[in-house]
C-alpha cells in the first residue's frame, strides 16, 4: 500500500517521515518546486528537532520520496493525506482553496478505492464538502477527518507518541476505520490513543483545543497586566493557580502574546464559523482581541522607557521564532515589535538561533541580523527577549552590562531574575512581574 502526503510543510513533512518510520511506503507531494528540489537534494527545508535523521534514514531505506507530481503521486496511492496550508482569509475564515484543489485532483486521478484523510485544520463542514467534490470519482473515495495536534519544536516526538489521535470517520465505514487503525497502530502500542468520532466533531475538536489553549494564555496575559497595577507577581499567581489539579500548570505563562501559524488563525476561524451559524463566540472573540493588545505591550513599555521617542535608538531583539526549537516566525509577537520599532525610527538588530533566514526574507536590510547574541546586544539601548531559547536563559549579564549602551532589559518571557538584574544595575521589565 502506498501513502501519499499532499503538502510537505511542517505537518506534511513530519507526518510523512514519521509514517515512513513506521514502515509505510510514503511519497510526499508539494506544488513548491523549491521545497521538493531541496528535499530531493537531501536538504531539510525547515528546522525541526530530530526530523533530519528520520528523513535521511527513510529516504536511504527507500520508504520516503518527494515529488511535485501531485496527480501522479495520488494515482499510485491507496491513502492520501491532505496537509496543505489553510491560511486565514481577510474575514477570518479559513482559505480552503488548496484543500479543494487536492480533492479535485483526487476525484480526477484516483485509480482505486481509497481513503482521503483531511489532516489540515479545516472548519466544520469541510469533510462533508470534500465528499461532494469526490462523489463522482471513478472509484469510491472514503473521506476521513484526522486533525493534527503536533507542536512545532516537538513535532516528531508528538507524532510518534501522541496524547491522542482524533479520527472522524463514519461508524459504518469498516474500510476507512480498518485502514486508519492500521496506520496509527504503531504509535498506539502501549494504549489505544485513537479517539473515534464523527467527522464534524473531529473538525471542531481541533479548533476547540487550540482556542482553549489560546484562551488560557490570553487570560494570564490579562492577569499579568493587573499584577503590574496592584503590585502582585504573575509567577506567584501562576504557581498558585496551576497547583489546582482541576486547572493544571500548562499554558499559564504570561508573555508577549501567542503567535505561530495555528493559534491566531484558528481562534479567528472558530469565531468566523460561529458567526456563519448565528452564534457570537464571545470568549473566543475576546481571546483574539486580548492577544492583539498583548502583542503591542513590549513596544508600549519600550516607548514609555524612552519618553515616547525611539528615533535612532538601537534595540536588540533576542528570539524571533514564535517559540523555541523552530525557525517558524509566522505571526510571532517579535514581528509585531520589530514592525512597530521600524515604523518609529528605531534601529533593530536581531539574533535567533534558527530563524535568521526567515527574518532576512521578511525584512531584507531593514533589520540587522547578528550571528551572535552578544553581537546583537553591542551598543544597544535596550535588549528585548522575545523567544525563550535555552541559550538565552542564563546569559553573561556582566558582559551585557559592559557592551550595552543603556542597561535596559525587556524580558517578555519572564525567564530572568528581576531581583538579581536590578541589583546588577539593569533596568528590568517583565510581563506582570513585581515592580514592572
Ligand X SMILES: NC(=O)c1ccc[n+]([C@@H]2O[C@H](COP(=O)([O-])OP(=O)(O)OC[C@H]3O[C@@H](n4cnc5c(N)ncnc54)[C@H](O)[C@@H]3O)[C@@H](O)[C@H]2O)c1
The candidate with the shortest Cα–Cα distance to 185, out of 23, 17, 2, is: 23
CA distance 205 to 214: 14
Which of 4, 18, 169, 262 is an active site residue? 262
Interface pick for ligand X out of 4, 5, 9, 214 (rule CB under 6 A): 9
How near is the Cβ of 127 to ligand X at its closest, in Å? 14
DSSP letter, residue 4: E
Asked if 8 interacts with ligand X (CB under 6 A), we say: yes
Identify residues 217-236 at the interface with ligand X (CB under 6 A): none
Stretch touching ligand X by CB under 6 A, among 94-102, 176-184, 192-200, 307-315: 94-102
Element containing residue 79 per DSSP (H, E)? strand 79-82
How near is the Cβ of 255 to ligand X at its closest, in Å? 18
CA distance 303 to 85: 36
Interface pick for ligand X out of 27, 51, 64, 70 (rule CB under 6 A): 70
Contact between 241 and 227 (Cβ < 8 Å): no
CA distance 5 to 26: 7
Interface pick for ligand X out of 25, 31, 181, 401 (rule CB under 6 A): 31
Contact between 134 and 143 (Cβ < 8 Å): yes
In the bound state with ligand X, the residue whose beta carbon lies nearer, of 106 and 341, is: 106
Contact between 168 and 198 (Cβ < 8 Å): yes
Q: In angstroms, what CA-CA distances link 1 with 26, 201, 299?
A: 9, 28, 53
How near is the Cβ of 372 to ligand X at its closest, in Å? 28
Stretch touching ligand X by CB under 6 A, among 77-85, 133-141, 363-371, 401-409: 77-85
In the bound state with ligand X, the residue whose beta carbon lies nearer, of 115 and 404, is: 115
Interface pick for ligand X out of 98, 187, 380, 409 (rule CB under 6 A): 98
Q: Is 434 exposed, middle or buried (0-12, 13-18, 19+ CB in 10 A)?
A: middle
Asked if 262 interacts with ligand X (CB under 6 A), we say: yes
Stretch touching ligand X by CB under 6 A, among 78-86, 271-279, 345-353, 407-415: 78-86
CA distance 75 to 165: 27
Asked if 68 interacts with ligand X (CB under 6 A), we say: no
In the bound state with ligand X, the residue whose beta carbon lies nearer, of 24 and 210, is: 210
How near is the Cβ of 121 to ligand X at its closest, in Å? 4
* Sign of the CA dihedral running 72, 75, 79, 81: positive
Sheet holding 368-369, edge to edge: 368-369, 347-351, 314-318, 382-385, 408-411, 427-429
Who contacts 218 (Cβ-Cβ below 8 Å, separation ≥6)? 258, 286, 287, 290, 291, 294
Interface pick for ligand X out of 4, 27, 30, 126 (rule CB under 6 A): 30
Interface pick for ligand X out of 26, 79, 130, 152 (rule CB under 6 A): 152
Interface pick for ligand X out of 24, 58, 86, 414 (rule CB under 6 A): 86
Stretch touching ligand X by CB under 6 A, among 30-38, 170-178, 191-199, 413-421: 30-38
* Per-position b or e across 129-167, b if 16+ CB within 10 A of its CB: ebbebbeebeeebbbbbbbbbbebbebbebbbebeebbb
Q: In angstroms, what CA-CA distances link 134 with 68, 118, 199, 248, 287?
A: 22, 13, 16, 43, 36
Contact between 287 and 395 (Cβ < 8 Å): no
In the bound state with ligand X, the residue whose beta carbon lies nearer, of 31 and 305, is: 31
User: What x/- string results for residues 102 through 141 when contact with ligand X is judged by CB under 6 A?
Assistant: x-----------------xx--------------------
How near is the Cβ of 366 to ligand X at its closest, in Å? 24
Size of the site for ligand X (CB under 6 A): 27
In the bound state with ligand X, the residue whose beta carbon lies nearer, of 99 and 408, is: 99
Clarify whether 262 is annotated catalytic: yes
Stretch touching ligand X by CB under 6 A, among 7-15, 224-232, 307-315, 348-356: 7-15
Asked if 84 interacts with ligand X (CB under 6 A), we say: yes
CA distance 267 to 291: 11
Contact between 87 and 93 (Cβ < 8 Å): no
In the bound state with ligand X, the residue whose beta carbon lies nearer, of 16 and 407, is: 16
DSSP string, 267-285: HHHHHHHHHHTT---HHHH
| Residue facing ligand X at closest CB distance | 9
Stretch touching ligand X by CB under 6 A, among 26-34, 162-170, 344-352, 373-381: 26-34
Q: Give the catalytic positions in this structure.
A: 262
Give me the residues that bind ligand X (CB under 6 A), please.
6-12, 29-32, 35, 70, 83-86, 98, 101-102, 120-121, 148, 150, 152, 261-262
Amino acid at each position: 500500500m502506498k501513502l501519499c502526503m499532499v503538502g510537505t510543510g511542517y505537518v506534511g513533512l513530519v507526518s510523512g517521515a514519521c509514517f515512513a518510520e513506521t514502515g509505510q511506503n510514503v511519497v510526499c507531494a508539494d506544488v513548491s518546486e523549491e521545497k521538493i528540489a531541496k528535499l530531493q537534494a537531501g536538504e531539510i527545508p525547515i528546522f525541526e528537532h530530530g526530523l533530519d535523521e528520520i528523513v535521511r534514514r527513510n529516504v536511504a531505506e527507500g520508504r520516503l520520496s518527494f515529488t511535485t507530481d501531485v496527480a501522479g503521486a495520488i494515482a499510485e496511492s491507496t491513502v492520501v493525506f491532505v496537509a496543505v496550508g489553510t491560511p486565514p482569509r481577510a474575514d477570518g475564515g479559513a482559505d480552503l482553496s488548496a484543500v479543494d484543489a487536492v480533492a479535485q485532483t483526487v476525484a480526477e486521478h484516483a485509480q482505486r478505492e481509497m481513503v482521503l484523510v483531511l489532516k489540515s485544520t479545516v472548519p466544520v463542514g469541510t469533510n462533508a464538502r470534500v465528499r461532494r467534490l469526490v462523489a463522482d470519482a471513478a472509484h469510491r473515495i472514503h473521506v476521513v477527518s484526522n486533525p493534527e495536534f503536533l507542536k512545532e519544536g516537538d513535532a516528531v516526538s508528538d507524532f510518534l507518541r501522541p496524547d491522542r489521535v482524533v479520527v472522524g470517520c463514519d461508524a459504518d465505514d469498516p474500510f476507512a476505520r480498518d485502514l486508519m487503525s492500521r496506520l496509527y497502530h504503531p504509535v498506539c502500542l502501549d494504549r489505544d490513543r485513537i479517539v473515534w468520532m464523527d467527522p464534524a466533531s473531529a473538525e471542531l475538536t481541533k479548533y476547540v483545543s487550540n482556542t482553549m489553549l489560546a484562551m488560557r494564555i490570553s487570560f494570564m496575559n490579562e492577569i499579568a497586566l493587573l499584577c503590574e497595577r496592584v503590585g502582585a507577581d504573575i509567577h506567584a499567581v501562576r504557581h498558585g493557580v496551576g497547583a489546582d489539579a482541576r486547572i493544571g500548570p500548562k499554558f499559564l505563562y504570561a508573555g508577549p502574546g501567542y503567535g505561530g501559524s495555528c493559534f491566531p488563525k484558528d481562534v479567528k476561524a472558530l469565531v468566523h464559523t460561529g458567526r456563519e451559524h448565528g452564534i457570537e463566540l464571545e470568549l473566543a472573540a475576546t481571546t483574539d482581541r486580548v492577544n492583539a493588545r498583548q502583542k503591542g505591550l513590549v513596544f508600549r513599555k519600550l516607548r514609555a522607557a524612552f519618553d515616547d521617542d525611539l528615533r535612532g535608538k538601537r534595540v536588540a531583539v533576542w528570539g524571533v521564532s514564535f517559540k523555541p526549537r523552530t525557525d517558524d516566525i509566522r505571526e510571532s509577537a517579535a514581528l509585531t515589535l520589530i514592525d512597530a520599532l521600524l515604523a518609529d525610527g528605531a534601529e533593530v538588530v536581531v539574533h535567533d538561533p534558527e530563524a535568521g533566514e526567515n527574518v532576512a526574507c521578511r525584512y531584507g536590510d531593514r533589520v540587522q541580523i547578528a550571528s551572535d547574541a552578544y553581537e546583537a546586544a553591542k551598543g544597544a539601548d535596550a535588549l528585548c527577549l522575545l523567544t525563550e531559547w535555552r541559550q538565552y536563559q542564563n546569559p553573561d549579564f556582566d558582559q551585557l552590562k559592559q557592551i550595552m549602551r543603556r542597561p535596559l532589559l525587556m524580558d517578555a518571557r519572564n525567564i530572568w531574575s528581576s531581583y538579581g538584574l536590578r541589583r546588577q544595575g539593569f533596568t528590568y521589565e517583565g510581563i506582570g512581574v513585581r515592580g514592572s
